Structure 1
Amino acid sequence: MSGLSALIVGCGDVGGRLACQLLAKGWQVSGLRRSVGQLPAGVAPIAADLSDPSIPQAWPQHSPDYLVYCVAASQHDEVGYQAAYVDGLRHVLAWLALRGQRPRRLLFVSSSSVFAQKDGQWVDESAATEPEGYSGKVMLQAERLALASGIPASVVRLTGIYGPGREWLLSQVRQGYRVVEQPPLYGNRIHAEDAASLMAFLLQADADGVALDDCYIGVDDDPAPLAEVVGWLRAYLGVTQWSDEQRVRRTGSKRCSNARARALGWVPEYPSYKEGYAAILTGQR
């Protein structure tokens, strides 16, 4: 047993995977979400709605060693993002203060939407953050709130998460929808299991005394052009028809680097879309 504890706020798909990985390491894990019946076995449940400022009844009496804020907005507009990422985080920080609790580190799960680069350039943690859409702007506001919380904090900017149950692109490919080939539209992705493993790695590294940076990008090794990904999936699935519609689109094009996380020792289980999608499709058979 490690004797370490973590509270995962927003213990859904990725948070649940993180919980399972930490439990396997001997950590004690609490999970906060609205529907606690869906928590993995072994996770101490905390039923709460983050829009409610009152402290949850099941909030732990003792401070968790680590707090992971890993929520997903249930309403995909600016109001929904503000409620989930900024207001919700403010409530959680207030609950910690109310109980006099101070975790060793706060891990805030953010998004690569804070980057507005769109010409295929490489992007790392030092790149400019000048988001154009509401999602990136609100996420950047939440990041700043986490980093100014008074708790040592790191932000993890996840790129496009895919995995079992996150198969929008697969459904598009099966329907034969086209994708723009030129100019190349680079996309960034990370398998849900690797997103969780990166967070678990960072938490364990901090617990082991490794000095963490305040930001990490969560992405695989291969930011590939979308046309290449679609072409590979078409061949793998045996799709030959083309739709008259051009449905698979992206507005941006950038290549995110995982060099900082890699330098720390993290290694993705699915280094590219090929291994990740092959695992999903093998599991479906």
Structure 2
Amino acid sequence: MTSPTVLIAGCGDIGSRVARRLLALDWRVYGLRRQVEQLPTGVLGVAADLHQAQCPDAWPREPLDYLLYCVAATQHDEAGYQAAYVDGLRHVLAWLAENRQTPSRIVFVSSSSVYGQSEGEWVDETSPVAPGGFSGQLMRKAEQLALNAPVPATVVRLTGIYGPGRERLAAQVREGYQVASQPPLYGNRIHADDAAGLLAFVLQADARGEVLDDCYIGVDDAPAALHEVVDWLRAYLGVTHRSQTQSIRRTGSKRCSNARAKALGWLPQYPTYREGYAALLER
């Protein structure tokens, strides 16, 4: 049986983690990004700027079994989100059509920002989607673009990714930042390795012929109140001082369920923030 071929558009941190997992399974992996010299060894580089409409010269000419759209916006305003998630995806879909490539499935990496719930509600893939901010609105627009593509598509909504290079909360705790416990601000997290593991798992499941849903939430087993996480980090790091002038302020509060992803057979390596942050901070 021929190994599948995947193009990872936006092959940065998470995309590279996915690439390494698939390479270990003998997949043929293309990685699209501006600086292809930063790709993991074994990934076939596609130097391209997703903001440009013209198909890149390095675009693969062979059939592609899968497209993983795994972009991170470099400009965190409305124009940046429009360019990265909506326009960029539209360009890639056009390049597939131009080269007469019809992947078996598109996997689009989205965010829990598409949910507007903010009172601590539990949220799953069947919950109403009503984003209030531009980031969620544009992400939802990109989701619909993927789901309306001429090939099957699955959206994976990742939440609160942390890991190497994503340690802002721990840094804030070291500075003595505080967070109110009432009302509790529930947050959702997933370690970068688990985020990549879920994306690779979804691709492998499709390659095995399993029936996929059109949406999965990528989150660990235990959404937790922010003050609980901060208190645990303070104890783990041995931080005793508290800032009198600075506190962590977050908007929104919801609890995301990973039941659908687990029903597919995926299990997080780091089931809660405790295991994930312990592994991260031990580095």
Alignment TM class, shorter chain as reference: over 0.9
Aligned residue for 2:40, secondary structure, equals: coil
CA RMSD of aligned residues (A): 0.8
1:178, 1:245 within 8 Å by CA — same for their partners in 2? no
Counterparts of 1:202-281 in structure 2, within 5 Å, are 202-281=202-281
Shift of 1:62: 1.2
Query: Aligned ranges for residues 155-170 of structure 1 at < 5 Å?
Result: 155-170=155-170
Describe the SS at the equivalent of 2:260.
helix
The alpha-carbon deviation at position 276 of structure 1 amounts to 0.5
Partner of 1:55: 55
Aligned AA for 1:22? L
Q: Look up the SS of the partner of 2:186 in the other structure.
A: coil
How far apart are 1:246 and its partner, in Å?
3.6
Instruction: Give 1:245 deviation, angstroms.
Output: 2.5
SS of 1:142's partner is: helix
| Cα distance in structure 1, aligned partners of 2:49 and 2:243 | 42
Structure 2 residues without counterparts, runs of 5 or longer = none
Contact 1:177 1:243 survives alignment (8 Å): yes
Aligned AA (1:5): T
Aligned to 1:191: 191
Match of 1:66 in 2: 66
Q: Measure, in 2, the Cα distance between the counterparts of 1:258 and 1:227.
A: 22
Matches of 1:95 and 1:270 in 2, distance apart?
37
The letter for the 2-side match of 1:56 is P
Report the alpha carbon displacement of residue 63 of structure 1 after superposing the two structures with TM. 2.1
Matched residue type, 2:164: P
Give distance in 2, aligned partners of 1:247 and 1:59.
47
Write the letter of the residue equivalent to 1:23: L
Query: 2:143 maps to which residue?
Result: 143
Aligned to 1:178: 178
- State whether residues 179 and 246 of structure 1, in contact with CA within 8 Å, keep that contact through their aligned partners in structure 2: no
When normalised by structure 1's length, the TM-score is 0.98
Identity %: 66
Counterpart Cα distance in 2 of 1:36 and 1:247: 39
Q: Counterparts of 1:276 and 1:43 in 2: how far apart (Å)? A: 27
> Where does the alignment leave 5 or more consecutive residues of structure 1 unmatched?
none
1:247 Cα deviation after fit: 2.7
Residue 166 of structure 1: SS of its match in structure 2? coil
CA pair 18-244 structure 1, distance change in 2 beyond 3 A: same
Counterpart AA for 1:34: R
How far is the alpha carbon of 1:203 from its aligned partner? 0.5
* Residues 7 and 30 in structure 1, CA contact (< 8 A), matched pair in contact too: yes
Q: How many residues align?
A: 283
Q: Secondary structure at the match of 2:195?
A: helix
* Corresponding residue for residue 5 of structure 2: 5
